Structure 1
Amino acid sequence: MKAIVVGGGIGGLAAAVSLRRVGWEVVVHERAAVFGEIGAGVGVMPNALRALEWMGVADEARRLGTPRVSGGIRSSDGRWLVRLPEVGQEKVIAMHRADLHGVLLRALPPEILFNNVEVTSVEELDADLVVAADGINSRLRAELLPGAPGPVYAGTTAWRGVAPGPRDLEITQTFGPGGEAGVLPLGDGRVCWFVAAVAPPSASLDPAELFADWHDPLPDLVSSTPEVIRHDIYELPPLPTFVSGRVALLGDAAHAMTPYLGQGACMALEDAVTLAACDGDLARYDAVRRPRAQEVWRGSRMAGRFGIGVRSPVALALRNFALRAMPTSVAVRVMTRFSAWEVPAMPR
């Protein structure tokens, strides 16, 4: 059986690795001139790590990533709202997106990887299975599901970067009025960070000014980063199906979500392993993946309303009080709810 994967990002490469593991002949078509990944940090959550284990590449991910043992949520003035020293962060790996992409790329033979291939229609592809992993603006999704909703602006814009930073930082998420930030230390002297703010699309904003009075080391990280990546955040409203004929949608092409649970890349890894476990049964893939992915999509949206969406002083005070009063055990359950995923059983 032959599969063609359209898109050479994390999701597309994971699909290729996973399908080859169950005996499929696979080729990957990527429209860019080289295979690569831009962005900053990614937290490989326990669910994503289980997917990497199934693919056989988790050991290399652990070698390149940095396990963290503590973290939590802070307010913009630096006060801790939630401390999670025992959350089991040894199962969470902090990585640069490019490093995770490289782990998957090296698991594939070069002869199945094709660059500079622009796929505009499924009709161009001769394969038993086509994996549409071509991103939030997927051309294949638009062709196959013309009546389905397209991407919509989620109301926020974000900046990301990698900068030198202290080696003793913890994984932190910070909430402020109409803003959110995150720090993901890589352990090698680099720190991945992001900041986001409620704003109109394409607004002319300076993150160094917006976050100048937030707690250390956020202002220094933003101002010292030589190359800051800025993008408006879009999401894909829930689709009626993830499959059409011989085509399976995967990753952002199927369920692009806001980043407030840190599950975007993790969901693509789950998709890839589930697709392989279904071994060509696309009805089963849709039945297994769509409810799970759309539940996480809704959870991420709710997390945004509770986090970056809180703007008034009264609402901020109430939200922060609720977080400080939350028992650690409850906070751990909330944070691990969406990472409690297991690889589905293979069919007989």
Structure 2
Amino acid sequence: MSQAVVIGGGIGGLTAAAALAREGWSVTVCERAPSLAPVGSGLAIAPNALRALDTIGVGDEVRELAAIQGPAGIRRADGRWLLRTSAEAALARFGEPTVVLLRATLVDLLASRIPAGALRLGTTVHGVDPGSGRVTTSGGELAADLVVAADGIDSAVRRALFPGHPGAVHSGVTSWRLLADRPAGESHGGESWGRGTLFGVIPLANGLVYCYATAPVPVPGDAASVPDGTSRTAGRTGDGSAAGGGHELEGTAGEDGRRTELARLFAGWHDPIPRLIASAHAGSILRHDIRCLAAPLPAFHSGRVALLGDAAHAMTPNLGQGACQAIEDAVVLARLAGDLPAYTRARLPRTTMIMRRSRALCRLTRWSNPLAVGARDAAMALAGRAGDVTLRRFDDVFTWRPPR
């Protein structure tokens, strides 16, 4: 039986382990953390990723958690719609819902699909030989016919395989994520855009709502404007999530500081945004700078090693595709594990397109000049009147299907 070693027990790594096991591989997952307790709050599983999860028997359990209903799209800070659609229209167009769920829930579902004994917690990988497939770990040496590097945005394997690649860069924005109780009568989701700031609200199952926000921060050589009072970045506290590794900001350490900063940035925004910030669950407010890979890799493989997820194509979260693309990678890799050049050909062009589109959207949300913001909002409102552009822009992303 062919042997696969998966480095990293996140969303992509666990999906890859489950998918490879279904294809007849013997799988070992090396995760350096002592447990799979995930860092982060919510994540989106779009129609493309739902179809990928069907291949490992998880899709229907995720669909049961769909909670978004009614209007969706983009609004101004005062609540006026710029681009408007609905969850029902999206379901009709793509045949599947977009499901937002707790990261912990998806991790548990994926972990339940990998073979017993395959997961080795507290195991650090010290080195990989792409030629032989030997993996040196804190628990000894492993021999592999395939090594799957799902070790995140700061992937040590990626640096070793492609030492000339520049690696992750700062996107110019910081992000907040939080959980709150869903306001009575609220079942719709969407984003609201202001001058350099953004706030998203998405219902979850079990009466919860997942919120996320972004605002620009200064980085070396970057001229983006910064909301008053936002300080420069200091010590790293990256969580390895799809949102990218991050830095806690000076003067905002501690949840009270994060809540106060959010309340200041979004004071006066339309209901229920200020209420959700004020009522955020204790311990749920996370804050990290967003990083991404600005340049695509030349390949997603070298020798017996394949990269996936953030290790291969870390992207900004603006299209909600970070976890989705890692899941796609995993099921495609399982089908093409005997032909890694074919895996690169299948995944590199698609993920590069989504990386670039997501980063372009991130730049658009950072605009703060009143004239530029006015022109941006007017263009979106005009496009919205010309048809359901909100959904059409996702056609080439959401209609993807896993290989047979």
- The answer to whether the Cα contact below 8 Å between 2:65 and 2:205 also exists between their aligned partners in 1 is no
2:267 aligned counterpart, secondary structure: coil
1:87 aligns with 2:89: yes
1:148 aligns with 2:148: no
Structure 2: gaps (5+ residues): 130-135, 137-141, 219-231, 234-248, 253-260
Structure 1: gaps (5+ residues): none
1:114 aligns with 2:120: yes
2:212 aligned counterpart, secondary structure: strand
- The answer to whether the Cα contact below 8 Å between 2:7 and 2:148 also exists between their aligned partners in 1 is yes
Q: CA deviation at 1:335?
A: 3.2
Structure 1 Cα separation of the partners of residues 394 and 159 of structure 2: 34
Structure 2 Cα separation of the partners of residues 67 and 279 of structure 1: 36
1:324 aligns with 2:385: no
Cα displacement string for residues 227-258 of structure 1 (whole angstroms, at most 9, x for unaligned residues) = 21111000013111111111100100000001
| Correspondences of 1:206-245 after superposition (within 5 Å) | 206-225=261-280, 226-227=282-283, 228-237=285-294, 238-245=296-303
- The answer to whether the Cα contact below 8 Å between 1:64 and 1:99 also exists between their aligned partners in 2 is no
Change (3 A) 1:65 1:29: farther
TM-score (norm 1): 0.94
Structure 1 Cα separation of the partners of residues 279 and 116 of structure 2: 37
Amino acid in structure 1 at the alignment position of 2:316 = T
1:258 matched residue in structure 2: 316
1:293 matched residue in structure 2: 351
2:175 matched residue in structure 1: 158
Q: Which moved more, 1:246-255 or 1:119-128?
A: 119-128
Q: CA deviation at 1:75?
A: 0.8
| Correspondences of 1:331-342 after superposition (within 5 Å) | 331-342=390-401
| Correspondences of 1:260-279 after superposition (within 5 Å) | 260-279=318-337
- The answer to whether the Cα contact below 8 Å between 1:149 and 1:239 also exists between their aligned partners in 2 is no
Q: Indicate which of 188, 213, 236 corresponds to 1:170.
A: 188
Structure 2 Cα separation of the partners of residues 87 and 36 of structure 1: 35
- The answer to whether the Cα contact below 8 Å between 1:70 and 1:87 also exists between their aligned partners in 2 is no
1:49 matched residue in structure 2: 50
Change (3 A) 1:328 1:136: same
Q: CA deviation at 1:7?
A: 0.3
2:239 matched residue in structure 1: none
Structure 1 Cα separation of the partners of residues 68 and 201 of structure 2: 14
4+ residue stretches of structure 1 with deviation over 3 A? 67-70
- The answer to whether the Cα contact below 8 Å between 1:165 and 1:189 also exists between their aligned partners in 2 is yes
2:372 matched residue in structure 1: 315
Change (3 A) 1:148 1:314: same
| Correspondences of 1:32-43 after superposition (within 5 Å) | 32-43=33-44
Change (3 A) 1:18 1:172: same
CA RMSD in angstroms, aligned pairs only? 1.6
